[in-house]
């Protein structure tokens, strides 16, 4: 299979983004359009014809994208979406961890079968570069920190199990078929358009509208990176040929506890808000991921990537958006 050249030009490049209606996906689509790529998006069909976060993009962006409604579990729909493109960003997945305890089979079908459908279509049409999206949840609770790409994978939720499986399928296609694929493994991402189920929007929305913020465990440590920095990493991975066949962590390399995060957000908002412990929000005993801190040396070396945006400033941008 051919490889992308060292000198990369996005203009008129035919690109497909799956999961484009999601948080990170919508920001990636926006960036690709501004880079003058020819962008198609694959969005899960629903009876409302709701295109997710793409609905929030400015008209000058949405007028330039081709929106394809479908389902990752439908191999025919996936083949049609992939055909004719040069680069695939595969972000499509079901991601809500609490929901994975209730309906795990949904995750296995969408995240595992869906990924297999994407990769089979990419194999058929000889796609030049595939960026497959993983998650830091695949590592589970850290056995050592910071977590590098050699850290053991630990399935501590049905969601993480589905993503580990999808990652391994991607890895197998690289080894078996010489597929030009890279696995990007973002740590916790935040910013405008993120679902209210995520920790930062959860804290912000409660702090803005209530006297109390109800949270589960306050001690877990997280590595938080602003969405614009994460999108930069996606772009660089697609541009850099030597990323092929690699798993690459993308995170800040800094940690903050959920409790400290809540206090920081409340301080920025400037209200008298009390943080309460809500047992119903706690993960099952052996499923909690206590510590996720990225070792991002590989991203810095292979991609010349590092976070550029200050945490406090980005929290203010996110609060203002909400």
CA distance 96 to 204: 18
pLDDT bucket at 24, cuts 50 / 70 / 90: very high
What tokens does 140 get?
A: 């589970």
Contact 95, 21 (CB under 8 A): no
In a domain, 7, yes or no: no
Question: Is the residue at 8 inside a domain?
Answer: no
Tens digit of pLDDT for each residue in 56-73?
999 999 999 999 999 999
Report yes or no on whether pTM surpasses 0.85.
Answer: yes
pLDDT in the model for residue 234: 98
Q: Are 65 and 33 in contact (CB under 8 A)?
A: yes
38 DSSP β-pair partners:
14
Number of structural domains found in the chain: 1
Distance CA 28, CA 81 (A): 18
Q: Does residue 269 fall inside a structural domain?
A: no
Each residue's pLDDT tens digit, 164-181: 999 999 999 999 999 999
Q: Domain limits at 111?
A: 14-191+226-253+293-308
> Residue 104 falls within a domain, yes or no?
yes
Q: Cα–Cα distance between 223 and 83 in angstroms, integer?
A: 36
- In this structure, what token pair is assigned to residue 174? 């690289």
pLDDT greater than 90 at residue 90: yes
Residue 95 lies in a domain: yes
- For residue 3, name the pLDDT band (cuts at 50, 70, 90): very low
Residue 36 lies in a domain: yes
Instruction: Kindly state the greatest CA–CA separation across the chain.
Output: 59
User: What's the pLDDT at 173?
Assistant: 98
Alpha helices in 41-113 (DSSP H): 59-62, 75-82, 97-102, 104-107
Kindly state the average pLDDT of the residues 134-148: 96
Give the Cα separation of 294 and 149 in Å (integer). Answer: 9
The beta-carbon contacts of 194-199 under 8 Å, at least 24 apart in sequence, are 194/23, 194/227, 194/318, 195/23, 195/96, 197/96, 197/98, 198/23, 199/258, 199/261
DSSP string for 135-181: -GGGG-S-SSSSB-TTSPP---SHHHHHHHHHHHHHHHHHHHH---E
**Binning pLDDT at 50, 70 and 90, where does residue 279 land?**
confident
Q: Evaluate whether residue 47 is within a structural domain.
A: yes
**Residue 133, domain CATH:** 3.40.50.720
**2, 249, 313 from 252: Cα distances, Å:** 33, 10, 15
Q: Is residue 313 part of a domain?
A: no
Task: Characterise 133 by phi-psi region: left (phi > 0), alpha (psi -120 to 50), beta (else).
Answer: beta
Count Cα atoms within 13 angstroms, Cβ side, for 3: 14
Q: What is the pLDDT of residues 93-118, one digit of tens each?
A: 999 898 999 999 999 999 999 999 99
Helix H segments across the chain? 23-34, 59-62, 75-82, 97-102, 104-107, 114-125, 158-177, 199-209, 227-239, 258-269, 297-303, 311-321
Q: Is 37 left (phi over 0), alpha (psi -120 to 50) or beta?
A: beta
The whole-chain average pLDDT of the chain stands at: 95
H helices, E strands: number in the chain = 12, 13
Residue 197 has pLDDT above 90, yes or no: no
């Amino acid at each position: 299979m051919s490889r992308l050249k060292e000198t990369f030009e996005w203009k008129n490049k035919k690109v497909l983004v799956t999961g484009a209606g999601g948080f990170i996906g919508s920001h990636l689509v926006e960036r690709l359009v501004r880079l003058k790529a020819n962008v198609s998006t694959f969005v899960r069909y629903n009876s409302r014809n709701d295109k997710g976060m793409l609905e929030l993009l400015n008209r000058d962006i949405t007028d330039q994208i081709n929106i394809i409604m479908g389902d990752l579990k439908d191999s025919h729909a996936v083949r049609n979406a992939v055909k004719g493109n040069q680069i695939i960003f595969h972000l499509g997945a079901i991601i809500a961890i609490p929901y994975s305890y209730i309906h795990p089979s949904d995750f296995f079908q969408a995240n595992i079968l869906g990924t297999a459908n994407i990769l089979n279509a990419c194999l058929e049409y000889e796609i030049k570069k595939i960026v497959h999206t993983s998650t830091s949840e695949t590592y589970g609770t850290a056995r050592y920190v910071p977590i590098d790409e050699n850290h053991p994978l630990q399935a501590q939720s049905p969601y993480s199990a589905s993503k580990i499986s999808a990652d391994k399928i991607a890895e197998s296609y690289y080894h078996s078929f010489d597929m030009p694929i890279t696995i990007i493994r973002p740590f916790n991402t935040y910013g405008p358009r993120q679902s209210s189920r995520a920790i930062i929007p959860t804290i912000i929305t409660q702090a803005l509208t209530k006297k109390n913020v109800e949270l589960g465990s306050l001690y877990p440590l997280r590595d938080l990176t602003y969405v614009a920095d994460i999108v930069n990493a996606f772009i660089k991975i697609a541009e850099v040929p030597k990323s092929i066949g690699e798993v690459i962590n993308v995170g800040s390399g800094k940690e903050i506890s959920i409790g400290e995060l809540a206090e920081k957000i409340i301080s920025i908002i400037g209200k008298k808000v009390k943080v309460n412990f809500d047992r119903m929000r706690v993960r099952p005993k052996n499923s909690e991921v206590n510590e996720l801190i990225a070792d991002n040396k590989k991203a810095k070396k292979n991609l010349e990537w590092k976070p550029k945006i200050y945490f406090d400033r980005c929290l203010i941008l996110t609060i203002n958006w909400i």
